[in-house]
Amino acid sequence: MSATPARPDASTAAPLAAASAVSNHLDTRTAATEVAHAISESLGGPADLVFAFASYHHRAALPVAIPGPRGGGVGAGDILRRALLRNGEPDATSRSGVLLAVTAESVLGNDVELEGRAGLSVLALRMPGVRLHPFRLLPNDPSVNLNDAASIRALTGAGEDTRAIILFADPFSTPVAQLLPLMAACVPGVTIPIGGGLASGSSQPGMNVLVMNEQSQNVGLVGVSISGPVAIDWVVSQGCKPIGKPHVITKAEQNILIELGGRPALEVVRETAESLDEHDRELLSKGLFFGLVIDEYKSRFGRGDFLIRNVLGIDQNRGAIAVGELLKVGRTVQMHVRDAATATEDLQLLLDAQQLKDAPAGVLGFTCNGRGTRLFPEPHHDAAILRDRLGHAPLAGFFAGGEIGPIGGRSFLHGHTLSAAVFRPGSAG
């Protein structure tokens, strides 16, 4: 088991602190007990906010209460809540803490990425003065009108001083891409950064587990809005590099790309492939992706200016390509390939900018389940770089089925990306 001691900030006015731990024990309750003990010793007091990421091995015993006459009992969520959270009755001097948990294909914590292995990774934060509002959403919830900003505001508890919303969603039941702009704009005059990821603990509907405090669910989403004296920076690093040149969509139907610049899309792809050098042609043989330009007002586009989307299929007869996004005529796109060297360089450059600031108290990392050793030649790649460039701050996270994070002032659902939330002390204003 690996643990990282609490990292307090230097300010006595807002003593933000965090601690993290990760366990590879196969027994869920044992893993929860191990990380809870390590974090309790490091943090030196109750936490206000706890994030727990559990590999699919822990799916059955992650909920707070485990149903069934044979499997009934205390779950990992309850162990973590009792050991770590501030759970007194809220009054002038005490408040209840928040636990969010999600199942994943793999988890990361501190210096390790436990790919395809049993893993429980936890980050606990002590956040005096910070307002936390946990929420959950089920499909077709009649109490929430997703087309009404006031209704979303009531659900999320967001306000003018909200620093971020962090959420975890089941990909089979939640239209996250459509929800993000609605949540981000639910407070008039404010754009709220949103981060998190899609549960990846199962390839079948109804098998992921999402936990918010005492409640667990297999569909929908859970989240928390974070408001008040805390600063949360976002690092969103993509694992693809552009090839060829940008093209304007001149014909499309739904998610079917038919023409680029007045020519069949497949013809343009083949022409681009023929123009590549041997190295990029080898990368292309492992998969083609399309990047959709985020800001059409830019005169030039480079890495970080695109939303990366998968190619879902090809219609040879029409020369058309199915892409994992609804397409509009007039939008600019560029072909991309997955590239480990580009992904490493991009992440390091983004984290270099973070090194100009004070050391963070803690970090959440949401990486694509197509990264790790599926992309990089060495294990623990993203965790190692995050820890090295961020002063070995406490780190926890998971391999997501889609990563959420802000780029250019707007929050998106990404693919093949690492999205990291970096917590530092901040002012109340």
CA–CA separation, 78 and 81 (whole Å): 5
Find the mean pLDDT for residues 217-244.
96
Q: What is the pLDDT of residue 96?
A: 76
Find the mean pLDDT for residues 54-62.
95
Which residues share a beta bridge with 74? Answer: 65
Find the mean pLDDT for residues 60-65.
83
Q: What is the pLDDT of residue 239?
A: 86
Q: What is the pLDDT of residue 297?
A: 84
**How is domain 242-336 classified at the architecture level of CATH?**
Beta Barrel (2.40)
Find the mean pLDDT for residues 346-356.
94
Q: Say whether pLDDT at 263 is over 90.
A: yes
Q: What is the pLDDT of residue 1?
A: 74
pLDDT tens-digit series, residues 90-112 = 433 345 799 999 999 999 999 99
pTM: 0.92
Please give the backbone phi and psi of residue 399, each rounded to the nearest 5 degrees, phi first. Answer: -85, 115
pLDDT tens-digit series, residues 25-56 = 999 999 999 999 999 999 989 999 999 999 99
pLDDT confidence bin for 13, thresholds 50/70/90: very low
Which residues share a beta bridge with 135? Answer: 223
- Closest listed residue to residue 232, CA positions, set 180, 166, 168, 163: 163
pLDDT confidence bin for 73, thresholds 50/70/90: low
CA–CA separation, 292 and 238 (whole Å): 13
- Closest listed residue to residue 334, CA positions, set 368, 372, 296, 297: 296
pLDDT confidence bin for 65, thresholds 50/70/90: low
Buried b (16+ CB within 10 A) or exposed e, 321-347: bebebebeeeebbbbbbbbbebbbebb
SS (H, E, C) the chain: CEEECCCCCCCCCCCCEEEEEEECCCCHHHHHHHHHHHHHHHHCCCECEEEEEEEHHHCCCCCCEECCCCCCEECHHHHHHHHHECECCCCCCCCECEEEEEEECCEEECCEEECCCCCEEEEEEECCCCEEEEEEECCCCCCCCCCCHHHHHHHHCCCCCEEEEEEEECCCCCCHHHHHHHHHCCCCCCCCCEEEEECCCCCCCCCCCEEECCEEECCCEEEEEEECCEEEEEEEEECEEECCCCEEEEEEECCEEEEECCEEHHHHHHHHHHHCCHHHHHHHCCCCEEEEECCCCCCCCCCCCEEEEEEEEEECCCCEEEECCCCCCCCEEEEEEECHHHHHHHHHHHHHHHCCCCCCCEEEEEEECCCHHHCCCCCCHHHHHHHHHCCCCCEEEEEECCEEEEECCEEEEECCEEEEEEEEECCCC
Q: Say whether pLDDT at 413 is over 50.
A: yes
Could you tell me if 397 and 366 are in contact, meaning their C-beta atoms sit under 8 angstroms apart?
A: yes
CA–CA separation, 219 and 206 (whole Å): 6
Q: What is the pLDDT of residue 59?
A: 94
pLDDT confidence bin for 193, thresholds 50/70/90: very high
- Closest listed residue to residue 421, CA positions, set 238, 233, 226: 233
Phi-psi region of 241 (alpha: psi -120 to 50; beta: other; left: phi over 0): beta
Instruction: Report the range out of 15-19, 221-225, 412-416 with the highest average pLDDT.
Output: 221-225
Q: What is the pLDDT of residue 72?
A: 57
For the chain, give every domain's residue range. Answer: 2-237+344-425, 242-336
Find the mean pLDDT for residues 324-349.
95
